[in-house]
Structure formats: structure tokens, C-alpha cells
Amino acid sequence: AAEHVIGVSSELILHDNWKYNENSIWPKFKEADRRKFVMMAGTSGQGERGNSKGILSGNAYTVLSIHEAQNYKLVRIRNPHGRGEWKGAFSDHSNLWNAALKKELDYIDNENDGLFFMPFSDFLDQFRLTWLCMDDDICGKDVHSNIEH
């Protein structure tokens, strides 16, 4: 599906294969982010109903960036509908945020704007799969930098 949306080949990562070994797949995500690959994550199901943590079923989300800060592995995600967000650790109302971390990650507290951070372990659990665009020329700064952060 990602190849049709992006127009170039992509790699599909099934999260079930990595949930219990997240340290093995983390470097792949870090490298994809460093190389400015376009990343999309998808959830299981259909109907776009939100689960108890705010993630919509049968939906694709944009993975904006990957971060390692203050011993946390975090993923910054955008719901393309611009509303509906993660309600767990590092959500807008999470007490895990501190001033230094907010500054380091350029965090802006803007409720229900569709942008959110979540721990990488929760990302692997809440999302079924991720597509990584695998073309440096196409997915370099021209495409990645134009995705609304």
C-alpha cells in the first residue's frame, strides 16, 4: 500500500515480530529517521473507532520522527485527520513531561491537534505495522521536510 501512496519501494515491518525485542528493531527506526525516510504506521481493524488509549482502528498515521532523550525512546506521530490522540505515557496530559524534555523535543502542548509522542514500546504494541520508504533520493529532505510537523 505504501508503494502506491509514496510511489517508491518500501519495507514493511510487522510489529508482532518485534514487540518483545524492541532493542533489536530500534536502530532501524533511528536510521530511517536519520536518513529522512518517510514512515507510516497502521493499526488493525476497521471503522476508525478509537480504543481506550485514543488510537483509531483501521487507520494510517504518519511517523514524524524518532527520539532518544533522557533515557526514553519516543516516537512522534501525526494522525492525518488532525484530531484524536494517544492518551497514554507522554500524551498531552502525561506527568512524564518535564521542562527540559519539552525543550529538547520541541514539544508544544496543543490539545487534540493530532500530533503526539508515545514510547516506542507502546508504539509497537498499539500499531500493527510500519512502512519505511526505502529511496534516499525520493524520501530525502524534499519529501520528509514537507510533511507538516
Please provide residue 112's backbone torsions phi and psi, each rounded to the nearest 5 degrees. Answer: 50, 45
Amino acid letter for position 62? T
Phi, psi of 85 (to 5 degrees): -140, 165
Residue-wise pLDDT tens digits, 114-126:
899 999 999 999 9
pLDDT per residue as tens digits for the range 46-80: 776 778 898 988 889 999 999 999 999 999 999 98
Q: What is the pTM of this model?
A: 0.83
- 95, 102, 57: which is closest to 79 by C-alpha? 57
